[in-house]
Amino acid sequence: MMTNDEIVDSLNDLIKINNDRINGFEKAAEDIEDPELASLFKNLTSQSRKFRSELADNIVRIGGVVPGVDETSTGSKIHRAWIDIKAAFTGKDRNTVLESCVFGENAAVEEYEEALEDEQIPSHIRQTLSTQLDELRHTRDQIATLRDVTE
């Protein structure tokens, strides 16, 4: 069985990923000139905050310490993806922005899938992660559809 410290570390990594998502989608909502995408990015910022809160609740429930809202996953693929998203706004090209968002969401999905690979995660935490993963997949697919109709 995973130790509480291992569970907390795993959940903290996911919190940092959601902090990355918040930073990326906030920047996207501010910089994009497309009102439809700005609205979507604001909704995804809210989704990320909700995910972060749910993860933090689980960490506290098992006696762990939650990372600050400014802590991000500087060494991860998702951090690099959000750097790419921010860079894409220099041209503000809709397709480039959406492609970068799909890349970032794919990285987030992979991190959640990796966290769920450990069968020793307590069921209440597994349920939270599974629900969030389903929503992330839906988000990724939604953004991919928008990208595909833009091409």
d(CA 132, CA 151): 29
| Sign (positive or negative) of CA dihedral 39, 70, 15, 137 | positive
Residue 105 confidence (pLDDT): 92
- What residues of the chain score a pLDDT lower than 70? 1, 69-92, 151
Domains and CATH numbers, the chain: 4-64+73-150 (1.20.1260.10)
d(CA 122, CA 143): 31
> With contact defined as beta carbons under 8 Å apart, do 48 and 21 qualify?
yes
Residue 78 confidence (pLDDT): 58
Q: How far is CA 18 from CA 72, 78, 90, 109, 132, in A?
A: 8, 10, 23, 11, 11
pLDDT tens-digit readout, 58-96: 999 999 988 776 666 655 555 556 556 555 555 567 887
Amino acid at 17: I
d(CA 89, CA 39): 16
pTM exceeds 0.75 for this model: yes
| Sign (positive or negative) of CA dihedral 146, 95, 70, 30 | negative
